[in-house]
Amino acid sequence: MNHWLMKEEPKKYTFDELMKDGKRQWTKVKNYQARNFIREMQKGDLVLFYASGDVKAVQGVAKVISDGSYPSPEDDRWTWVDIGPVDKFDKEVTLKDIKADEFFTGLKLIRQTRLSVMPVEPDHFDKMLAMGKSG
């Protein structure tokens, strides 16, 4: 199983909406590196849901619920994946918290700030999960 972080602009879609909807197609990614990461996703992979924009925080965990990625019906150069909610964090893990912790040195979220989909090392994932569930 792999671990990922996916960013969404809260003005477009929120983790609370994902919790309510139960499922979301992750679409409209127009960055080749992010698209290639989506192509690596498999059913059951866990995803940190990161609210970008003014929020800048991980808000919860989702999982890949489609049988991996699939081509966009609009343009097969791009790839989509379906995610579903797992658990909302008790406390958001802010970008400020992440940057302040040397443990996260090397995390793509810090190094590639504009990338909307990225892999996360299991130990980084576990620590963010622990940070979000403490409160």
Tens of pLDDT along the chain (135 residues) come to 999 999 999 999 999 999 999 999 999 888 999 999 999 999 999 999 999 999 999 999 999 999 999 999 989 899 999 999 999 999 999 999 999 999 999 999 999 988 999 999 999 999 999 999 975
pTM flag (> 0.85): yes
3-class SS string, 53-102: CCCCEEEEEEEECCCCCEECCCCCCCEEEEEEEEEEEEEEEEHHHHHHCH
Burial category of 75 from C-beta neighbours within 10 Å (exposed 0-12, middle 13-18, buried 19 and up): exposed
Predicted local distance difference test score (pLDDT) of residue 2: 96
| pLDDT at 28 (0 to 100) | 80
Structure tokens at 84: 């579903």
**Domain spans, the chain:** 3-133
Q: Scanning the structure block, which residue is given the tokens 């990161």? A: 50
Domain 3-133 listed as CATH 3.10.590.10: yes
